[in-house]
Structure 1
Amino acid sequence: MKTVNFLVFNQFETLDLFGVVEIFGRLPQHYTLYYYSLEGGIVTSRQQVEMVTKPISELDKNDILIVPGGLGTRTLVADETWIAMLKTCCQQAKQVLTICTGAALVAKTGMLNGQSATSNKRAMDWVISTNEQVNWQRKARWVVADKFYTSSGVSAGMDMALGFIADQHGKEVAEKIAYEIEYVWNSSPDEDCFVEN
């Protein structure tokens, strides 16, 4: 059994988080899900969804770390305390998955330096500005580099999560989940119809 630790913050994007939660939650025999924030307590998404989180100080087992994006990332990239905490979590994690502009937060830690990564295409110029030492991929639904999985904007997190499940448990398992949730999975990480030519 592995733990999946979702690290959230105020003004996170709801679908970034809960699309991926839905997918991992379909495999309770393999994954236990937990939700953390820096201080714990109530965290509110951009869409005003409130959720209860544990303080990051209580995270004692860090198999998989997942970082969503959202408007809150614009402030957090300049928060040295938060970024330092994130770096420690990334160093301890066996695998790190980001959705949308969550990649900018991990990039700010320096952990993606020299690695390939992607992020939300509508925010790509800003994301690149947070760390130009990352090999940013403008055309990609998601990118795998070492222990890092980074995905494009919002719903792309679901494609990435299914890709991760396929890598860990086989493509048939991922396809079964997609069928169960009636989701049309873009199973190719390199196909990205949202890139502007």
Structure 2
Amino acid sequence: MNHIVFLLVPGVHLLDLAGPAQVFSTASDFGHPYTLSYIAERPVVPTAQDLPLVARLDWPELRPEDLIVVPGWRSLALVDSPDIGAAALRALRDHHARGGTVASVCAGAEALGRAGLLDGRRCTTHHDVQDELARRYPRATVVRDVLYTADDRVVTSAGIASGIDLALHLIANQHGPAVAAQVARDMVVYARRNGHEPQASAMLRYRSHLDDTVHHAQNLIDARFDRALPLSTLAATVGVSERTLTRLFTRATGGLTPLRYQQTLRLERAEHLICHGATVDAAARAVGFEDARMLRRLRARGH
């Protein structure tokens, strides 16, 4: 995805919009450029927080690798949501029909429903309106109490801040989990996932400490977990002895050595690849194991 288009509806929640926009903007800062556009049916869009937004009226030409996001808006019930014009709904349908991805945050799922994009697909929304979404779109499968769902290039997320989790998920799919973790860490948030994968990324699960030396070592492992990284090289790079690094690392991460941390990252990435159709052998090679036996052992014992 290179172009991210946010479709703004009157009463839009600022965090529904700003959260995903910040994720893609931060990814751009790390060398993965995105163009962000804000489209509406009027040049000035009122928000739920009383800060008006200026938007463009014309839709850019989109390619299949681009993304349309519909942030949510303030509404006690979906049936009382603001009108969304036929042109906007057609833009959503056409983009998806051409192979593009569409996404929603919170009540934004209503727009995808009106566009006919929820029929036959899994979706979610804010817990306050999940039941109503299921009643309004009975051909959809509303998944309750998850942060987000992804089904056939239709990605929906729960309320407000979950738009950040949705965007991080898309970044991980596009650029890999290390980039998503880098973006999340820069934003001081936790990378979250759902489905068959753990909700908290291993790259951030062991970051709740204040040891700069260990953070430095983790940054190196995060970037090179699929390659050989001897303890001696790691220790020399961060400027301490091997024994000191092992002691600091184990204390900061609650018992993990640098090697065990690297294996955890490899296992998590391998599970992600296997869930998306890769064989165990292919996944093992992709994450840096010389053969699949180590991966099979780690999977068998749950690491």
Shorter-chain TM range is 0.7 to 0.9
* 1:139 matches 2:139: no
TM-score (norm 2): 0.57
Name stretches of at least 5 consecutive residues in structure 2 with no aligned partner: 200-303
Q: What is the aligned partner in structure 1 of residue 104 from structure 2?
A: 98
Distance 1:86 1:187 in 2: 28
SS in 1 for 2:5: strand
TM-score (norm 1): 0.86
Distance 2:79 2:164 in 1: 22
Q: What is the aligned partner in structure 1 of residue 172 from structure 2?
A: 166
Distance 1:43 1:31 in 2: 23
SS in 1 for 2:146: coil
SS in 2 for 1:132: coil
Distance 1:107 1:10 in 2: 18
Residue type matched to 2:95 in 1?
Answer: Q
Q: RMSD of the TM alignment (CA)? A: 2.1
Q: Which has the larger strand fraction? A: 1
Q: What is the aligned partner in structure 2 of residue 119 from structure 1?
A: 125
Residue type matched to 1:85 in 2?
Answer: A
SS in 1 for 2:109: helix
* 1:35 matches 2:35: no
String of CA shifts for 1:92-112, please: whole Å, max 9, x gaps.
241111101101210122121
Q: Which has the larger helix fraction? A: 2
Matches within 5 A, 1:179-194: 179-189=185-195
* 1:47 matches 2:76: no
Residue type matched to 1:176 in 2?
Answer: Q
Higher RCO, Cα 8 Å, sep 6+: 1
Q: What is the aligned partner in structure 2 of residue 9 from structure 1?
A: 9
Q: What is the aligned partner in structure 1 of residue 72 from structure 2?
A: 69
- Contact 1:141–1:189 under 8 Å retained in 2: no
Note closer, same or farther for the CA distance 1:14–1:150 as it changes in structure 2 (3 Å cut).
Answer: same
Distance 1:12 1:74 in 2: 16
- Contact 1:108–1:130 under 8 Å retained in 2: no
String of CA shifts for 1:146-170, please: whole Å, max 9, x gaps.
1111001111111111011101110
Distance 1:13 1:126 in 2: 20
Q: What is the aligned partner in structure 1 of residue 218 from structure 2?
A: none
Note closer, same or farther for the CA distance 1:83–1:69 as it changes in structure 2 (3 Å cut).
Answer: farther
CA radius of gyration, larger in: 2
Name stretches of at least 5 consecutive residues in structure 1 with no aligned partner: 193-197
- Cα distance, 1:76 vs structure 2: 4.3
- Contact 1:100–1:120 under 8 Å retained in 2: yes
- Cα distance, 1:90 vs structure 2: 3.2
- Cα distance, 1:122 vs structure 2: 1.4
Note closer, same or farther for the CA distance 1:38–1:76 as it changes in structure 2 (3 Å cut).
Answer: farther
Q: What is the aligned partner in structure 2 of residue 195 from structure 1?
A: none
Residue type matched to 1:26 in 2?
Answer: T
- Aligned sequence identity (%): 26
Q: What is the aligned partner in structure 2 of residue 19 from structure 1?
A: 19
Residue type matched to 2:68 in 1?
Answer: L
- Contact 1:76–1:83 under 8 Å retained in 2: no
- Contact 1:76–1:82 under 8 Å retained in 2: no
- Contact 1:20–1:161 under 8 Å retained in 2: yes
Q: What is the aligned partner in structure 2 of residue 82 from structure 1?
A: 85
